[in-house]
Structure 1
Amino acid sequence: MTTMTTKPGLAARLSALAKVVELGRGRLDKKLLDEAAMLLLQAGDRLKLSSEHTVVALAGGTGSGKSSLFNAISGLELSPTGVRRPTTARTHACVWGIEGAGPLLDWLQIQERHRFSRASALDKGDGQLHGLILLDLPDHDSIRALADTEADRLIGLADLVVWVLDPQKYADASTHRRYVTELAGHEAVTVFALNQADRLTTEELAELVIDLNDLLRREGVEHPSVVPTSAVTGRGVESLKSVVATAVARRRAAIQKLEADLHRIERRISESMPLGEALSAPSSVDEARRLGLTDALCDAVGVPAVGDAMENVYAERSSQWVGWPYPRWIGKFRTDPLKSLRLDDVSKEIRGIATASVSAQSAEVGNAVQALADGLSMGMHPVWRTAVHKAARSKSGGLPQALTDDLAQVAPQLDRVPAWWRVLMLWQYFLVLAFVAGLAWLGVGLFVPEQLPPSLEVFGDSATLPWVGLAMAAVLGLGALSGIASRNFVELGASRERERLEREMRRRVAAVSATMVVEPVEAELHRHHSFYTALRDLST
């Protein structure tokens, strides 16, 4: 037995369909996906079986003469024909060249007792049919549900289908509605036998053939193959055998049937989800949208507010360490405006900003996530747009708390005192002591009696007093300048601390949003892109 070799195009399309089925779960109609999955299963099975045999099924309604035509083609009375109500209940098979056909007949589920082989001694010039497996199917309009189901199953599995129609019911709705309208693209593997031609005059037959062709074209069969036959007189039987023999000799019917089935399922999927501009949709979240989401979430959790408060408190606390002491001491005798700021409680309030505000702004968090999904899914099919929004919201319920927990770890440490504050404070108090010492010198020189111990005479020397006064003025000036410089350094340090804090908070917000929003969305975008890429490959 030789298995069938697929064309590269067919193999690629089958692979694309498998991808469409895999990625389309929950997106495409379940019935359509199940049909596609069944087609993949059938295609895989058929391609593993004999490529030397072509399965041709005679299908038709009750009374169409299908079994008689089966016997006429085979040249033997193999399929029973009824008298009062002609009907076929079980599938019969006639095989030209039985070697290697067994597994294929098993796959078709043809019972052993209904299998017949044309031995070489009986071929009588039918060598052109070698490799043919001819099936006489149950009537598709049988009152027996089992027979009806078997006919549908084998019509789907056969490599080529010959529809046997009779002059009275050739336009029967049950045939055309259930089967013919689904045959678009299957012309190469579908033949229509207008049987019982012996009951018609030549003019009537010609008229019916024209009418049947017109009917089939209206139903989407662009190039119908219609063969008038008569199982009674044998008219047209050889023509039909010739059509079948050509298909058998080419060994292409099975591949053509699979290609036609693929085309039909691709058309139905494309009608459900048109390719259109779908491949132009983003397959990932670009950097600009990531930054936009981070900005929106930072606003939602109050990162700028935390930065402002931290900078203000940093500056105010520094005045306790690096401000020129004299103005600070003088200020104690005035009402302290800073008490209204309740700086003692600022640390708790700032920490509260980094935690409580996330919950308070949960609506804004939701809006930021919604805006990201809206921008990315614009122009998508509604099903995929809903899927992108669902992915974006898949973890958003825990997003506020995740931001809360993460940002709480970087709440500003307001009790931290930079080392340079302490050094500057020592320097300023050294200047204060120097000024006090100068005052003491002046006091001794101006108000203390001239009789001083020799060791202290320098303090009473009036010639030194101007220099002491000059030194005191210099100390005051140096203290004032150091105070001004320290304030500038404090403002610069506060700005840097704010930038550091906001940068760290933004980093953490970006990391949380990437894990809880961007990654699920990108997974859905990648699925969307892969689905439509596979659908494009399926249609080529």
Structure 2
Amino acid sequence: MTAVSTAERRHGLGSRLAALARIVELGQGRLDPALVTDAAQLLLRAGDRLKLSSDHTVVALAGGTGSGKSSLFNAVSGLELSPIGVRRPTTARTHACVWGIDGAGPLLDWLQIQWRHRFARASALDKGESQLHGLILLDLPDHDSIRALTDHEAHRLIQTADLIVWVLDPQKYADASVHRRYVTELTGHDAVTVFVLNQSDRLTPEEQAECVADLEDLLRREGVADPRVVATSATTGKGVDSLKAVLAESVAARRAAYQRLEADLDRLVLRLVKDVPELLRVESTVDGARRAGLAEALCDAVGVSALGEALENVHAVRSADWVGWPYARWAARLRPDPLKSLRLGGVKDDIRGLVASSVTAQPAEVDNAVQALADGLTAGMPEVWRDGVREAARSRVDELPEALSEELAEVAPPLDRVPVWWWLLKIWQYLLVLMFVASLAWAGAILAYGVFKAGRPPAEVLGDVAVLPWVGLMMISVLGLGLFSAMASRNFVVLAAGKERDRLERDMRRRVGVLAQNMVVEPVERELNRYNEYFGAMAAARR
């Protein structure tokens, strides 16, 4: 592989790992905690490995007790580095043989290989094996060791090595502990996994071919699509050169580290997809129709229309004290007070109380309006993310009624003040009252002085009987004018009250819309954006 292609592979892997980091960040509280932990560990392991030597390939020889793993390690290295014996388990600590020690130290430190178990091939011994330059060969403790410490070390390095070589023997190549615990867990790692059928010297050529075919068939059934099987004998050296050739190919390509991380990432992404299936992109903003629907539902929940109607009625009833015909109003005092019949005494305080009671009395409707918005936006989303949107929509639902109450209380008009034109109409009405009273007194004076001759009138016009019809006409005109102006004024008041109601409801709906935006829509849009970012990160994390 060329330097350019290696750089491209590294860049592609880096982009995918960055996407995985974003998935871990966005998936908090939405994904299985164990899955998030595994993803975080992969990110940590990948970050560490990519910072270390890319000129070295870590190859781990793994296998069970008696598989001849350590013998094969010595055969490949050409030195007696790893102990061999009948005592089980033989390998208690990981041994490492390094071809090309320069730059390998930090990598061996990261692998936690003890200094006394590190061996370097001297240049005098590397004749004919320059193709292995950059190889770090590990002889792991037996994976089925009865010692918990060494078993843990084997498991850790199996998860960390760039290339895994499974050493199996003809008697136990189908060992369930290997296949169940490791092989099936490394499905998709074909490019960084090699299977060695060791101790092949114990088999006839026909038996060897049968065992290799059976092992390949078993591996395919367990998900290894293209298994690489090499038959060796550490005792006779048969097949060791074939194994070296496989290792040399991997070392020369210098891509095993990337392939291992890519395979780990692929497997993790499959688990992520399985954990949150049917991932579909959604609109990250709440459309205008849904915003309007939420605002309208909240307005219904707090009784905006009812409040507007009540305010309109109060406005109309209260205007009777200002623009109504005084005589009609005085006569109405003999009847029950209409304000009391409407229960609107202390109008402004009652209206503010009405606002508060409308909000606090309908918490279920507020909750239903918020729930309806969340349900409408999350159709088709995975259930865990639907729950997230619902939680976001309801994150401030307990504060919403009080906030609505405070906003609408501020909208209540200052009913202790009246329009200027009401004052002018009231003055006009009382001028007509004075004119009627004056006309009535004039007519009485004419009757007293001109008809009944009660005495000498103070002025000639007060005793002129000929003027009496005109005075009567003036009285009727004043009464008619007063009634007409009262009726016209009432119509103007009704029109003005309707306009005031419309203005008031518009203001209230605007305020409700602002509250809905700040307390419901914005949290929902943040969660939808989070979901879409997760969707994008998942797409980037895939191949």
Q: Classify the TM-score, shorter chain.
A: over 0.9
Match of 2:526 among 519, 523, 526: 523
Secondary structure at the aligned position of 2:194 is classed as strand
Aligned to 2:501: 498
Q: Is the 8 A contact 1:373 1:389 kept in 2?
A: yes
Structure 1's 360 and 343: CA in aligned 2 closer, same or farther, altered over 3 A?
closer
The reply on whether 1:438 has 2:439 as its aligned counterpart is yes
Match of 1:30 among 30, 33, 38: 33
- Output the amino acid matched with 1:117: A
* Matches for 1:451-466 after TM superposition, within 5 Å: 456-458=459-461
Q: Is the 8 A contact 2:269 2:541 kept in 1?
A: yes
Match of 2:535 among 532, 535, 539: 532
Give the Å deviation of 1:474.
4.2
Identical pairs, percent: 67
Aligned to 2:85: 82
Aligned to 2:255: 252
- Output the amino acid matched with 1:138: P
The reply on whether 1:216 has 2:219 as its aligned counterpart is yes
* Matches for 1:10-21 after TM superposition, within 5 Å: 10-21=13-24
Aligned to 1:514: 517
| Alpha-carbon distance in 2 for matches of 1:63, 1:322 | 111
Give the Å deviation of 1:124.
2.0
How many pairs align? Answer: 536
| Alpha-carbon distance in 1 for matches of 2:480, 2:367 | 57
Structure 1's 211 and 498: CA in aligned 2 closer, same or farther, altered over 3 A?
same
Q: Is the 8 A contact 1:302 1:353 kept in 2?
A: no
* Matches for 1:184-263 after TM superposition, within 5 Å: 184-263=187-266
| Alpha-carbon distance in 2 for matches of 1:339, 1:90 | 96
Aligned to 2:271: 268
The reply on whether 1:142 has 2:153 as its aligned counterpart is no
| Alpha-carbon distance in 1 for matches of 2:274, 2:93 | 37
Secondary structure at the aligned position of 1:448 is classed as helix
State the Cα deviation string for residues 75-133 of structure 1 (Å, max 9, x = none): 11111112243521111111111111111111111111111111211112001111111
Structure 2 unaligned spans of 5+: none
Secondary structure at the aligned position of 1:409 is classed as helix
* Matches for 1:230-379 after TM superposition, within 5 Å: 230-274=233-277, 276-280=278-282, 282-333=283-334, 339-379=340-380
Secondary structure at the aligned position of 2:34 is classed as helix
State the Cα deviation string for residues 246-285 of structure 1 (Å, max 9, x = none): 11111111111111111010011111112x25213x4233
Q: Is the 8 A contact 2:302 2:358 kept in 1?
A: yes
Q: Is the 8 A contact 1:24 1:531 kept in 2?
A: yes
Q: Is the 8 A contact 2:457 2:463 kept in 1?
A: no
Match of 2:164 among 157, 161, 164: 161
Give the Å deviation of 1:356.
2.4
- Output the amino acid matched with 2:122: A
Secondary structure at the aligned position of 1:55 is classed as strand
The reply on whether 1:182 has 2:185 as its aligned counterpart is yes
Match of 1:152 among 145, 155, 165: 155
Structure 1's 266 and 468: CA in aligned 2 closer, same or farther, altered over 3 A?
same
Q: Is the 8 A contact 1:94 1:135 kept in 2?
A: yes
State the Cα deviation string for residues 213-247 of structure 1 (Å, max 9, x = none): 11111111111111111111111111111111011
| Alpha-carbon distance in 2 for matches of 1:387, 1:332 | 62
Aligned to 1:101: 104
Deviates more, 1:470-479 or 1:28-37: 470-479
Structure 1's 159 and 420: CA in aligned 2 closer, same or farther, altered over 3 A?
same
The reply on whether 1:382 has 2:368 as its aligned counterpart is no
Give the Å deviation of 1:383.
1.8
Secondary structure at the aligned position of 1:279 is classed as coil
Give the Å deviation of 1:358.
2.3
- Output the amino acid matched with 2:151: D
State the Cα deviation string for residues 457-506 of structure 1 (Å, max 9, x = none): 45556666665555545444433332222112111221122223323333
Secondary structure at the aligned position of 1:344 is classed as coil
Q: Is the 8 A contact 1:91 1:137 kept in 2?
A: yes
RMSD: 2.5
Structure 1's 336 and 78: CA in aligned 2 closer, same or farther, altered over 3 A?
closer
Secondary structure at the aligned position of 1:169 is classed as coil
Give the Å deviation of 1:345.
4.7
- Output the amino acid matched with 1:107: W
| Alpha-carbon distance in 2 for matches of 1:87, 1:34 | 34
Q: Is the 8 A contact 1:16 1:537 kept in 2?
A: yes
Q: Is the 8 A contact 1:388 1:525 kept in 2?
A: yes
| Alpha-carbon distance in 1 for matches of 2:444, 2:39 | 107
Give the Å deviation of 1:334.
5.1
Secondary structure at the aligned position of 1:394 is classed as coil
Structure 1 unaligned spans of 5+: none
| Alpha-carbon distance in 2 for matches of 1:197, 1:226 | 12
The reply on whether 1:489 has 2:492 as its aligned counterpart is yes
* Matches for 1:128-139 after TM superposition, within 5 Å: 128-139=131-142
| Alpha-carbon distance in 2 for matches of 1:80, 1:100 | 27
Secondary structure at the aligned position of 1:449 is classed as helix
State the Cα deviation string for residues 405-447 of structure 1 (Å, max 9, x = none): 3333333443332221111111122222233333444444565
State the Cα deviation string for residues 501-540 of structure 1 (Å, max 9, x = none): 3233333333333333333333322222222221121113
Structure 1's 342 and 35: CA in aligned 2 closer, same or farther, altered over 3 A?
closer
- TM-score (ref. length: structure 1): 0.92
- Output the amino acid matched with 1:15: A
Deviates more, 1:77-86 or 1:310-319: 77-86
- Output the amino acid matched with 1:422: W
Q: Is the 8 A contact 1:192 1:226 kept in 2?
A: yes
Secondary structure at the aligned position of 1:110 is classed as coil
